[in-house]
């Protein structure tokens, strides 16, 4: 029975998202854990987090970013569910690196209380193994809740990643999420997510990227993108994706080391959605 105040249109939107663009494994039909890329990586390089190497919000993709980049940074972002303001995803992240070691934390929340919510907190550790190589591990806590009449589920998972810079103008990144799981949904947990990407720095103002992400056993997401410097402190971001065919357009503003990102991501069935993100650092 549908309880009073329950909005059926929201349920339809959630189901459409999970079917058309999210996780459809039987163990993970309830959520979209791991289905998130930072706005800069999403539009700037086809999910290529190497273009944004060392950013705190890049920990959402790869825990190895704790061992890369500046000494500290923090950031966050916001994304509505394809125009549904009450079904939104917000995220925050922070990292601190000292010498070769780094630590970080990310927190993401999706949904509306008393309807459907996902909460995820990841604790990340990373180390710079060589001047051009870093590795990291993440321990993620997950909570999935429906209406008050239904039970909620919690669990833990292990994430791992690496960043490798074989040449001065080439950055390679690889990560795996939800490798080992404990608890969560009785039939299993979120599907494992694998991600590999490469970024190519053509010049200080031109960066290209290609990325591959497997979000479940039968779904591969391939993206191509670029980051183009227009004037000092302003970059134009764009990317195209396959299966489903989508495009992303965005802009990056940098002022005294502080960055603001805006990204628009299309979808053939659900329309478009917007990402707004910021990052601060030394």
SS (H, E, C) 26-69: HHHCCCCCCCCCCHHHHHHHCCCHHHHCCCHHHHHCCHHHHHCC
| Max CA pair span of the chain | 60
Q: Examine the pLDDT at 160 and tell me if it is beyond 90.
A: yes
CB 233 within 8 A of CB 253: yes
Lowest mean pLDDT among 68-72, 84-88, 134-138: 84-88
Are 174 and 196 a contacting pair, CB within 8 Å? Answer: yes
Of 43-57, 125-139, 259-273, give the lowest mean pLDDT range: 43-57
CA nearest to 229, candidates 256, 247, 202, 197: 202
Q: Is the pLDDT of residue 85 over 70?
A: no
Q: What distance in Å separates the CA atoms of residue 11 and residue 5, rounded to the nearest whole number? A: 12
Is pLDDT above 50 for 165? Answer: yes
Contact between residue 35 and residue 216 where contact means Cβ atoms under 8 Å apart: no
The pLDDT value recorded for residue 34 is 43
Q: Hey, which bits of the chain come out as E strands?
A: 72-81, 84-98, 101-112, 116-130, 133-145, 153-167, 170-177, 181-183, 193-203, 206-216, 219-231, 234-242, 246-255, 258-267, 271-280
Whether 134 has a pLDDT exceeding 90, the answer reads: yes
Percent over 70 (pLDDT), the chain: 76
**Residues 97 and 66: beta-carbon distance below 8 Å:** yes
48 touches 173 (CB < 8 A): yes
Nearest to 261 by CA among 232, 228, 229, 236: 236
> For residue 203, is pLDDT > 50?
yes
Asked if residue 191 lies in contact with residue 179, where contact means CB atoms within 8 angstroms, the answer is no
Q: Which residues contact 221 (CB under 8 A, 6 or more apart)?
A: 47, 211, 212, 213, 214, 215, 241, 242, 243
Confidence class for position 199, pLDDT limits 50, 70, 90: confident
What are 22-77's pLDDT values in tens digits?
A: 322 222 222 344 445 555 555 544 455 656 667 888 888 889 999 988 889 999 99
Across residues 146-161, what is the average pLDDT? 84
- For the 8-280 domain, the top CATH level (class) is mainly beta
For range 131-152, the mean pLDDT: 87
The pLDDT of residue 162 is above 60: yes
Residue 127 pLDDT level (bands cut at 50, 70, 90): very high
Are the C-beta atoms of 61 and 122 separated by less than 8 Å? no
pLDDT at residue 94 tops 90: yes
Q: Say if CB 64 and CB 124 are below 8 A apart.
A: no
pLDDT, mean of residues 139-159: 84
* Rounded Cα distance, 31 and 223, in Å: 23
Reported confidence tier of residue 107, pLDDT bands at 50, 70, 90 = very high
Residue with tokens 């809740």: 145
pLDDT at 182: 79
The pLDDT score that the predictor gives to residue 126 is 96
* 189 pLDDT tier (thresholds 50, 70, 90): low
Least confident stretch, 4-13, 209-218, 241-250: 4-13
User: Which stretch of 56-60, 92-96, 224-228 has the lowest confidence by average pLDDT?
Assistant: 56-60
Does position 92 have pLDDT exceeding 50, yes or no?
A: yes
What local confidence, expressed as pLDDT, does residue 30 receive?
A: 28
Of 87, 117, 86, 91, which Cα lies nearest the Cα of 39? Answer: 91
DSSP character for 82? T
């Amino acid at each position: 029975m549908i309880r009073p105040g329950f909005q059926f249109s929201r349920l339809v939107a959630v189901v459409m998202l999970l079917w058309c663009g999210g996780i459809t494994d039987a163990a993970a039909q309830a959520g979209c854990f791991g289905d998130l890329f930072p706005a800069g990586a999403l539009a700037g390089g086809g999910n290529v987090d190497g273009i944004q190497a060392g950013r705190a919000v890049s920990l959402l993709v790869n825990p190895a970013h704790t061992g890369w980049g500046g000494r500290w940074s923090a950031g966050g972002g916001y994304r509505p569910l394809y125009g549904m303001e009450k079904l939104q995803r917000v995220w925050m992240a922070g990292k601190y690196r000292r010498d070769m070691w780094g630590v970080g934390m990310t927190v993401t929340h999706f949904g509306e209380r008393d309807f459907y919510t996902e909460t995820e907190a990841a604790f990340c550790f990373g180390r710079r193994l060589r001047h051009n190589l870093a590795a990291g591990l993440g321990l993620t806590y997950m909570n999935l809740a429906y209406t008050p009449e239904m039970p909620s589920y919690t669990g833990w998972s292990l994430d791992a990643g690496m960043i490798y810079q074989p040449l001065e103008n080439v950055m390679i990144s690889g990560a795996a999420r939800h490798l080992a799981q404990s608890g969560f949904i009785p039939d299993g947990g979120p599907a494992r997510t694998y991600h590999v990407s490469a970024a190519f720095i053509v010049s200080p103002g031109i960066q290209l990227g290609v990325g591959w992400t497997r979000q479940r056993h039968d779904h591969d997401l391939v993206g191509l993108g670029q980051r183009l410097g227009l004037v000092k402190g302003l970059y134009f971001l764009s990317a195209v994706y396959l299966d489903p065919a989508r495009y992303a357009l965005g802009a990056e503003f940098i002022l005294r080391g502080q960055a603001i990102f805006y990204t628009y991501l299309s979808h053939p069935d659900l329309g478009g959605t917007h990402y707004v993100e910021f990052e601060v650092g030394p």
